Structure 1
Amino acid sequence: MAMSQITSDPVAVDEAPALAAAACLFHGFSDPSRLTILRHLALGEHRVVDLTEHLGLAQSTVSKHLACLRDCGLVTSRPHGRASVFRLTHPGALLDLLASAERLLALTGDAVTLCPTSGVAATARTGADEASA
């Protein structure tokens, strides 16, 4: 469901599925490594080995994040010999979204990173809790 439908007339659209779809989409953007991969793919197609080398991430990490991004419909792949080459599914829309996010972040300043629920400290706390479990 399109994001524009979320903000349209609430009587005409059942908001629950639209909001759930939006939350799933934004979950795809919730990891800095996935954002880095998306930004790198905005430059053009890449193999996993290229992304691993360019981004300094482990092959397993890149593959895991590419699988998530593919499952979200944000990237696609095609075979190239024994490798797969990945590209953005909708590069224009993705770049528009990232530009909008940058504008919103500029307006909110440090509020997002300082948020006690989902900011940097909360994320670090969650990671520490998971590591000790």
Structure 2
Amino acid sequence: MSKVAQPAKVDPLLPVETAGVGLIAKFFRALGDPTRLRLLEFLLAEEHTVSDCVGHVNLSQGRVSSHLACLASCGFVTVRRAGRFAYYRAVDDRVADLVRLARGLAAENAAALASCMRIDDTR
């Protein structure tokens, strides 16, 4: 009698409950803005003020503050206040690994992503 090979058991990527899947989708939506990605990359190496961030992404202080507030409220960056200044820093270096992985996958799938009309990238 020959044995039939059983497929390897794969750990599920997503939680069973719908709310958990929604939380992961929200995680990716927080990273789904080009300005937030650029700010996050900038804040991985060291902490910076809002003014530093404004100079880095060349947007208004109000827009940058809004993006930083989003990243902070979603737990991607922390803020340290010193006098009248706020210093932002990325919370977890693993985000860099995630972005590197996404960059590689996007490069391999560039033509399809570029022609995809279902995702709005006009921001």
The TM-score normalised by the length of structure 1 is 0.77
Query: Higher relative contact order at CA 8 Å, sep ≥6: structure 1 or structure 2?
Result: 2
Q: Which of the pair is proportionally richer in helix? A: 1
Q: Give the unaligned 5+ runs of structure 1.
A: 1-6, 128-133
**What residue number does 1:39 align with?**
41
How many pairs were matched up?
113
Identity level (%):
34
**What residue number does 1:104 align with?**
105
Partner SS state of residue 75, structure 2:
coil
For residues 107 and 15 of structure 1, the distance between their equivalents in structure 2, rounded to whole angstroms, comes to 31
Q: CA RMSD in A?
A: 1.8
Residue identity in the other structure for 2:100: A
2:11 is matched with which residue: 8, 12, 27? 8
For residues 81 and 32 of structure 1, the distance between their equivalents in structure 2, rounded to whole angstroms, comes to 30
Change in Cα spacing, 1:123 to 1:54, as seen in structure 2 (3 Å) is closer
The C-alpha deviation readout for 1:62-111, integer Å capped at 9, x for no partner, is: 100001001111000111221110000112x1011001101111221221
Change in Cα spacing, 1:102 to 1:123, as seen in structure 2 (3 Å) is closer
Partner SS state of residue 76, structure 1:
strand
For residues 96 and 57 of structure 1, the distance between their equivalents in structure 2, rounded to whole angstroms, comes to 26
Residue identity in the other structure for 2:19: P
Q: Give the unaligned 5+ runs of structure 2.
A: 1-9
Offset of residue 15 of structure 1 = 4.1
For residues 101 and 86 of structure 2, the distance between their equivalents in structure 1, rounded to whole angstroms, comes to 30
Change in Cα spacing, 1:9 to 1:50, as seen in structure 2 (3 Å) is closer
1:1-133 equivalent positions in 2, closer than 5 A: 8-9=11-12, 13-91=15-93, 93-118=94-119, 122-124=120-122
Partner SS state of residue 45, structure 2:
coil
